[in-house]
Structure 1
C-alpha cells in the first residue's frame, strides 16, 4: 500500500513539474522589434519655402516642424509629425517628393525610443 501511495505521489509530482514547464512565463520576453525615432525636420520643407537640395515638399497645416523618422529596422523608414496637441500624424508620399499629412492620429511613435 505504501509503495502504491509513494508511486502515485511521484507520478503526480512529475506531472505537475511537466505542466509547469509547458506553461508560458509571465516575464517579458526579449523582442527583436525595437523601433527608434530621430528628428528629421531637415529633410522637408513647406510648399511656400524655396527649394533646398535634398528636401521633399510636405503639405501640412503644421508646417515642417516636429517631424521624426521612424525606423523599425524592417527595411524602411516612416515619417511622422507631432501636432501642437501632442498627436502623431503619419506622412504619406502620394507623388514622388510630395508628402501629405494624414488626418488620423497614431500612437506608433510613442512605442519607440529616441535615437
Structure 2
C-alpha cells in the first residue's frame, strides 16, 4: 500500500471538513450546508476507486451510493425533527439509530433483487 497516496486521501477529506466548518463559522451556515451536501466527497471517492479498481467497481460504488443516499436523507430529516425536541447530541444519536435502521432495510431490499 502506498502510504503517501493514503495520506493524500486523508488530507483531501480533511480539507472538505475544515472548509465546511470555516464557511459555517465565518460566512453563513447555509453555504456550509451546501458544501456539506455537495457530492464532493462521493465524487472524490468515485475517482479514487476508479483509479485503483477500475470502471466496474466504480460503477458498483455509484449504484450503492445512490441507494444508500435514501437513509442519509432520512437521517437528515430525523435529525432536524429530533433537534426541535431534544438536545443536539441526543438528536444525533437518535438520527444515527434511524439511519442504521434505514441502512439495514435498504441493504435487505438490495439483497433481494
TM-score interval, smaller chain: under 0.3
Give the structure with higher Rg (CA): 1
**Bigger fraction of residues in strand:** 1
**Bigger fraction of residues in helix:** 2
Q: TM-score, normalised by structure 2?
A: 0.21
